[in-house]
Chain A
């Protein structure tokens, strides 16, 4: 399995919605 690790996620907001089954990425969140 490919793995998107935490280094590449830096500064991005990563949102998880288990009910709606979506993952979102938004830049410049922190």
Chain B
């Protein structure tokens, strides 16, 4: 078992289960901040699994979400992204401009924030799928710490704010209180930054933002500036973010969201002069482990040593589109026409849990993977939610699984780690961690 056959990986069952939401394992290493690399222009934050023992939010979860709930939320997230992509492509879903752009005669903030729902769809009550990883940032002067969802799939950073004029969901940490920060300021309606927002309004001269997700979740409030502390040695003065006074949706108990997309309001774009629009992340294999989120030139050094793939920017201003070209299973390139990947394109999204493939690509992957597993005699198991290729590994300590590699334009290759090939709901249900889109055009 110590020597897997060629093009196979050994999957340790012991390693798989700390990744489950029902884990009671302790944190491998407490989150810490540190400089790294040769360049001082790189700053590092710690990423932890939202439901793992390293998460500041973990203690708040009396009942961790089930695998079914996590996967259902992930399906909502994927559908939300499909919706945003498709509506942007057709023009139907272009960001709405608020009708409330009157200047000083605007109603009081409370009334504005309440009435703003007129331009928003009714909440379906479905989750955005807040992603499984969080980072902790400091906000204000003196800085208070907030645990926020880390999201490369959206732009505007926001936190729930005092006095929470309309409604806030329950969060683990105290609400951010602008009155306690000496560096807080609202962005004025006349400021160019206000126009950077996809959805904006005006109340009493103060810029209002709206962040609306495809599933009906949203945050509305004042667009503001304050000092954002990324680490103990690095802060961003005048960072523009949403001070949320009306926030609804299942955002877990996070204080808000850190937007890492490519739009004007995102953190990488706002800090372009400081970090050069460069950042990198690493997500830990186990929920008991820690990863990192780096900003700055040093974070790209390791990638430059390897092959990179072009970021395809013509498809829209927000998502990180890349060109997927193929899949290898057990070292063998699957026979999938290039058009299968090119038809709809591919994005990289830190907030989606399970990789979604065009139906034809998934079908080919599943067939090859299942054939390799059958050849080794592994017993199949019932599906788990959207995962349909599952195995019963009861009583096994290690399992040999075929390698899976995702190939991209320019020669970049993602040789998926064993922890990323399988999703373990239980020892008797360990599933191939990929799913198909409903339609080849999705």
Which residues of A line the B interface, CB within 8 A? Answer: 1-19, 21-27, 29-30
Contact = CB atoms under 8 A, between A and B. Distances in A.
26 contacts: A1-B81, A1-B347, A1-B356, A2-B355, A2-B358, A5-B74, A6-B349, A6-B352, A7-B354, A7-B420, A8-B433, A9-B350, A11-B282, A12-B417, A14-B348, A16-B268, A16-B320, A17-B308, A18-B278, A19-B272, A21-B313, A22-B309, A23-B348, A25-B306, A29-B302, A30-B282
Contact of A5 (B262, B306, B355, B413): B355
Top-8 shortest CB links A-B: A24-B303, A18-B277, A30-B282, A15-B303, A5-B352, A2-B346, A15-B280, A24-B308
Interface residues of B, number: 77
B268 A18 contact: yes
B79 to A, nearest CB: 11
Contacts of B283: 6, 9-12, 30
B132 interface: yes
A27 B127 CA distance: 31
A18 B285 CA distance: 26
A2 B361 CA distance: 10
Tell which of A5, A10, A25, A30 has the most Cβ of chain B within 10 Å: A5
Contacts of A16: 152, 268, 278-280, 311, 320
Contacts of A11: 282-285, 417, 419-420
Interface string B320-355: 101010000000000000000100111111111111
Contacts of A26: 302-303, 305-306
Contacts of A29: 280, 282, 302
Contacts of A13: 280-282, 302-303
B414 interface: yes
Given A11-B417, A25-B413, A4 B355 contact: yes
A23 B346 contact: no
Given A16-B268, A25-B306, A26-B306, A5 B353 contact: yes
Tell which of A1, A6, A27 has the most Cβ of chain B within 10 Å: A1
Given A8-B433, A12-B417, A30-B284, A1 B85 contact: yes
B417 A10 contact: yes
B300 interface: yes
B78 interface: yes
Nearest to A18: B277
B182 to A, nearest CB: 32
Nearest to A21: B311
Contacts of A18: 262, 268-269, 272, 277-278, 311
Contact of A17 (B133, B278, B344): B278
A2 B311 contact: no
B368 interface: no
A16 B344 CA distance: 21
Contacts of B276: 17, 19
